Amino acid sequence: MRKIREEELKSMLESRVAGETLDLNQCSFENMDLGGWNLQNINFDDCDFKGITFDGADLSGITARNALFGELILPDGSKMKTSLSGCNLQNAILESADFRGCDLRDADIRGADVYSAAFYQADLTGIQADETTKHFWMSCPEKGAFLGWKVCYGCRIVLLLIPEDARRVSGTREEIRCEKAKVLTIDSIDGKENYTEAHSYVDENFYYRVGQMAYAENFNPDRFVDSGGGIHVWLSREEAIAYLG
């Protein structure tokens, strides 16, 4: 991975043609203060940012798929986090970007695509998002009962009713976690076989039995905890089977 220094980046920005996309994919950046910089339309796919200050910078239109916005461990053992406070990320492609622990206060992500992006323990206070922000909002119904599907051991497909009073969360993907659900049916992927019970791939002692309620005692209400506790479901049978791979 090529390491880019601040002076080199500044020279690239000054010499590029107006409107040109600067390709910096698979590069690393460390310990820079880029606050207020114009960084529009740059390809940052698969880049590593460690200890970078982007506060107030214009990052609109960038692509940063699989980019890591991480922390830098200094010689004295202290840590310098990457900060994006107040930066402009409008219309950015941020699929699978890692923002865990980042400062995103007052950042503008309107029009951005954050599919599968990680926001665990990020400060999202005052973040600007609207109906054009893709995959930032919960994919599950926030109120009322709904149906969910999951795949259990032996490729058994479980149809669940998530009741109205069940807590439920989802992050930046289609996967949903809930605290309880009633088992309606269990069948095979091709629908030709029916079963009365199935058990989880993750916990072989967690069973789903037709007609009974299933309860997740470890339900985690933080929607941005990846693979957090709860009953994991999808809104369609096809999505559940696709997740199995």
Strand partners, 165: none
User: Strand 27-30 relative to strand 2-3: parallel, antiparallel, unpaired?
Assistant: parallel
Segments of the chain assigned E as strands: 2-3, 22-23, 27-30, 42-43, 48-50, 68-70, 72-73, 79-80, 146-152, 156-162, 168-170, 176-178, 180-188, 197-199, 207-209, 213-215, 231-233
Q: What is the pLDDT of residues 196-238, one digit of tens each?
A: 999 998 888 899 999 999 999 999 999 999 888 999 999 999 9
Place of tokens 């054009």: 132
Residue type, 15: S
Q: What is the pLDDT of residues 47-86, one digit of tens each?
A: 999 999 999 999 999 999 999 999 988 888 888 999 999 9
Question: pTM of the full predicted structure?
Answer: 0.91
At the top level of CATH, the class of 1-137 is mainly beta
Inter-CA distances, 34 with 18, 100, 102, Å: 20, 19, 15
For residues 132 and 122, is the Cβ–Cβ distance under 8 A? no
CA separation for the pair 150, 118 (Å, rounded): 23
pLDDT reported for residue 199: 93
Tokens found for residue 59: 């990052």
CA separation for the pair 73, 130 (Å, rounded): 35
For residues 114 and 94, is the Cβ–Cβ distance under 8 A? yes
Q: What is the pLDDT of residues 118-163, one digit of tens each?
A: 999 999 999 999 999 999 999 999 999 999 999 999 999 999 999 9
pLDDT reported for residue 86: 98
Domain spans, the chain: 1-137, 146-244
Indicate whether 245 pLDDT > 70: no
Tokens found for residue 205: 């002692």
H helices of the chain, in order, are 6-15, 237-244
CA separation for the pair 90, 230 (Å, rounded): 33
Tokens found for residue 58: 């214009």
CA separation for the pair 225, 74 (Å, rounded): 27
Instruction: For residue 185, give the 3-state DSSP assignment.
Output: strand
Residue type, 54: F
